[in-house]
Amino acid sequence: KILNVDLGERSYPIHIGEDVTASIGSLLADRGIKPGTSLLIVTDRNVAALHLDRIVGLLGQAGYKVGTYIAEPGEATKSLAVLQDIIGTALDTGLDRNSVFIALGGGVIGDLCGFAAASYMRGVRFVQVPTTILAHDSSVGGKVAVNHPKAKNVIGAFYQPEIVIYDTKLLLTLPPRDVRSGLAEVVKHGLIWDEDFTSWCNENAGRLLSLDLEALGEALYFGCKVKAQVVSEDEKENGLRAILNLGHTLGHALEAVAGYGELTHGEAISIGMVGAARLAGKMGYPGDIHTVTKALMEKFQLPVVIDAAYSTDDIMSAMQHDKKFRDGKMVYIVPTAIGKVKIDSSVSADMVRAVVDELK
Q: Is 167 in the site for ligand NAD (CB under 6 A)?
A: no
Residue nearest to ligand NAD (CB): 107
Residue 218 bears catalytic tag:
no
Q: Does 161 bind ligand NAD (CB under 6 A)?
A: no
Residues 78, 125, 152, 265: which is the catalytic one?
A: 265
Is 177 tagged catalytic? no
**From candidates 21, 119, 128, 132, binder to ligand NAD by CB under 6 A:** 132
Q: H-helix or E-strand containing 277?
A: helix 265-282
Q: Is 267 in the site for ligand NAD (CB under 6 A)?
A: no
Catalytic hit among 51, 152, 180, 248: 248
Residue 342: its H or E element:
strand 340-347
Residue 24-53 contact track with ligand NAD, rule CB under 6 A, x = bound? --------------------x-xx--x---
One-letter amino acid of 78: K
Q: Are 258 and 308 in contact (CB under 8 A)?
A: no
Question: 3-state SS string over 66-122?
Answer: EEEEEECCCHHHCCHHHHHHHHHHHHHCCCCCCCEEEEEECHHHHHHHHHHHHHHHH
Rg of the chain over Cα atoms, rounded to whole angstroms, equals: 20
Q: Select which of 51, 180, 189, 241 is catalytic.
A: 241
Q: How far is the CB of 109 from ligand NAD (least distance, A)?
A: 5
The Cα–Cα gap between 84 and 76 comes to 14
194 binds ligand NAD (CB under 6 A): no
Kindly state whether residue 273 participates in binding ligand NAD, applying the rule CB under 6 A. Answer: no
Q: Residues touching ligand NAD: how many (CB under 6 A)?
A: 30
At residue 41, the 3 state secondary structure works out as: strand
Question: To the nearest 5 percent, what fractions of the chain are helix, strand and coil?
Answer: 55, 20, 25
If binding is defined by CB under 6 A, does position 235 make contact with ligand NAD? Answer: no
Residues that bind ligand NAD (CB under 6 A): 44, 46-47, 50, 73-75, 78, 105-109, 111, 131-132, 134-135, 137-138, 141, 143, 153, 170-171, 173-174, 178, 181, 265
